[in-house]
Amino acid sequence: MFTGIIEEIGVVTTIETGADAIRLGIRGPLAVEGVRHGDSVAVSGVCLTVVEHTDEGFTADVMAQTLRMSTLDRVTIGDLVNLERAAQVATGSAGTSCRATSTARRRS
């Protein structure tokens, strides 16, 4: 789950084209703080899975369907992208969390 709050503006550093996907390299040191292999990072609103990471950035695979359904098919090296880590339980939501219960009413 994501909050929708951009944490950092990252830079596309590499693009490797595969048969049915691309691998994006993205520099964004703030967005990778505490990130591990398999974690989710939103890149310009698209949820991607971290494949590799360093202190300066990460790589993620983008499948063909995701490329077709998003703007990531148009990114080039040097492009700026919005970055956001997935929300954690301890992450503030800057809003109010509530629980609602639905009930049915029966006519007699």
Provide the CATH number for the domain around residue 62.
2.40.30.20
Predicted local distance difference test score (pLDDT) of residue 31 = 82
- The pTM of the full predicted model, rounded to 2 decimals, is 0.77
Amino acid at 37: H
What's the Rg (C-alpha) of the chain?
Answer: 18
95 Cβ contact list (under 8 Å, min separation 6) = none
Q: How many domains does the chain have?
A: 1
Residue 23 within a domain:
yes
Beta-sheet strands, E only, within 28-87 = 40-43, 46-53, 57-63, 80-85
Residue 50 within a domain:
yes
Residue 57 within a domain:
yes
Query: In terms of residue numbers, what domain contains 20?
Result: 8-85
| pLDDT > 90 fraction of the chain, expressed in percent and rounded | 62
Tell me the pLDDT tens digit for each residue of 26-74: 999 988 888 899 999 999 999 999 999 999 999 999 999 999 999 999 9
